[in-house]
Amino acid sequence: DEEEGAREERGAREKAEVEAALARRQGSVLGQHRLHLKEMDSMIEAHRKKLEESISERVSERWDVDPDTIGLIVGPKGVNIKRARELEGVWSVTVGDADVVVVGSSAEACAAARNILEFARIEIPVTSRDRAVIVGKGGKNAKDIQTQSGLRSMQVDERAGVVVLFGNRESLTKGTRAVELIKKFNVEESELYEESRGLMTSVGMYASQQPDGEEALSAHAPPAARAPAFDAEVEMDERAVGAVIGSKGSVIRQIADATGCKLDVMREGYGVGRAAVYISGRDMEGVEDAASWVRALVSPLAVGEAWEATVIDVLANGVRLSGPPPRLTHKEHFLPVHLLPDPDAPPVLGDKVHVTVASVDERGARVRVTGSEVDGGGYGGGR
């Protein structure tokens, strides 16, 4: 009995020790859990405060866009969107069906993204001299400006007197700066010329009183004093350029020699099928004469216009008549035999006939012809 009582007492003591150990372990786990919960509460509170601060600093910028320009905004394989999102301070870029929203940490960051993503069109007023320099020979200057600035397009509107730029705000800033620099250069060059001309006039008054003074003055005049001071531009159908140039450049050289002006043919920047001749010279009269000459060569015939034509070819079905001088774009007119003033007695090679433009349509001019001894005449189909 004593041994049985000792075993029970020992068992009870061991059970109490196990229960005490379990209690201590549970207390330790609960304590650690409570500590972890406290730490998590602190982290959540810190994150909440940070989120509130970021929301208070959040800046967004939204603008409407033409749906047709969405492809330009996104760029090939999303390159523009990627560039904008990689900017420092830009958090997100969202392109909708007709708008773009940029969210960032500052207005500057959003504006930088907008410079990449917003496309627009602007017009810059320019003079004919500005346009000539902006376009350059063969359109080289315009191509360089467009390539280096990143513009999508650059067109010269001669009638409106403007240069039209299209691209994102980043490229428009660069393109506008290039055009404005050219305009500023032209203004400064003109002012320099005027100053030099005034100086040369004063010196010339003295030099003219000396032996061989004027010749010496002309030979040693500074470049600015010899620079062109006046210019003009004549726009035309590109097909008429050949009339101004002439065979192997004979006509354009003749105009330059007669007026003392420089003539440059420009085929770029005037739209499809359009071109222009830029004229520059040292006196306004010469420039105006050259411009009038060019216009006479390329201007279309008008109803009522008349001239004394020469029969330059006699064919079985009609005759060919010379066009109105000095127009090389209307070198000749064909007149069917049944429309001649006297079909039974057609003119011969070299005869002179009076030609009047009766009507003009999209195919050309129709002319009325009268012979030297015929009053009235037939209605010719000269084109």
Which tens digit of pLDDT belongs to each residue from 70-98?
Answer: 888 898 889 999 999 999 989 899 999 88
Reported confidence tier of residue 309, pLDDT bands at 50, 70, 90: confident
Q: Are residues 360 and 301 in contact, defined by beta-carbon separation less than 8 angstroms?
A: yes
More confident residue, 285 or 188: 285
Closest alpha carbon to 66 in 133, 9, 121, 127: 121
Q: Quick one: average pLDDT of 241-260?
A: 87
Beta bridge partner(s), residue 336: 318
DSSP 376: S
What is residue 276's predicted lDDT score, i.e. its pLDDT? 87
- The DSSP string of 214-275 is HHHHHHT--HHHHS--EEEEEEEEGGGHHHHH-GGGHHHHHHHHHHT-EEEEE-SSS-TTEE
What is residue 343's predicted lDDT score, i.e. its pLDDT? 65
Is the pLDDT at 59 greater than 60, yes or no?
yes
Place of tokens 């008008």: 302
| List of residues 6+ apart from 359 with CB closer than 8 A | 303, 365, 366
Q: Residue 126: is it exposed, middle or buried by C-beta count within 10 angstroms (0-12/13-18/19+)?
A: buried
* Element containing residue 359 per DSSP (H, E): strand 352-361
- Single pTM value for the model: 0.43
Q: For residue 323, what are its two tokens? A: 């066009």
What is residue 327's predicted lDDT score, i.e. its pLDDT? 54
Tell me the residue length of the chain. 383
DSSP 149: H
What is residue 42's predicted lDDT score, i.e. its pLDDT? 80
Give the lowest-confidence range in 22-26, 53-57, 212-216, 304-308: 212-216
Q: Quick one: average pLDDT of 95-106?
A: 90
Is the pLDDT at 29 greater than 70, yes or no?
no
More confident residue, 362 or 226: 362
More confident residue, 299 or 236: 236
**CA atoms of 165 and 179, how far apart (whole Å):** 10
Q: Are residues 210 and 157 in contact, defined by beta-carbon separation less than 8 angstroms?
A: no
| List of residues 6+ apart from 13 with CB closer than 8 A | none
Closest alpha carbon to 280 in 265, 293, 264: 264
Closest alpha carbon to 314 in 349, 265, 365, 290: 349
Torsion on CA atoms 333, 339, 340, 344, rounded to nearest 10: 140
Closest alpha carbon to 333 in 345, 315, 62: 315
**CA atoms of 250 and 243, how far apart (whole Å):** 10
Give the lowest-confidence range in 15-19, 156-160, 339-343: 339-343
Q: In Å, how far from its chain's centre is CA 329?
A: 30
Within 10 angstroms of residue 219's Cβ, the number of other Cβ atoms is: 8
Is the pLDDT at 102 greater than 90, yes or no?
yes
Q: Are residues 92 and 85 in contact, defined by beta-carbon separation less than 8 angstroms?
A: yes
Q: What is the CA radius of gyration of the chain?
A: 43
What is residue 224's predicted lDDT score, i.e. its pLDDT? 43
Q: What three-state secondary structure class fits 349? A: coil
For residue range 119-129, what is the model confidence (pLDDT) as tens digits? 989 999 988 87
What is residue 101's predicted lDDT score, i.e. its pLDDT? 93
What is residue 87's predicted lDDT score, i.e. its pLDDT? 92
What is residue 100's predicted lDDT score, i.e. its pLDDT? 92
Q: Quick one: average pLDDT of 194-219?
A: 50
Sheet holding 318-322: strands in order across? Answer: 332-336, 318-322, 306-315, 352-361, 364-370, 378-379
Helix 169-207 and helix 140-149, axial crossing angle in degrees, nearest 10 = 140
Is the pLDDT at 151 greater than 80, yes or no?
yes
What is residue 370's predicted lDDT score, i.e. its pLDDT? 64
Rounded to the nearest integer, the mean pLDDT of the chain is 76
| List of residues 6+ apart from 262 with CB closer than 8 A | 228, 256, 279, 280, 281
- The per-residue b/e assignment along 329-353, b for 16 or more CB within 10 angstroms, e otherwise, is bbebbbbeeebbbeeeebbeeeeeb
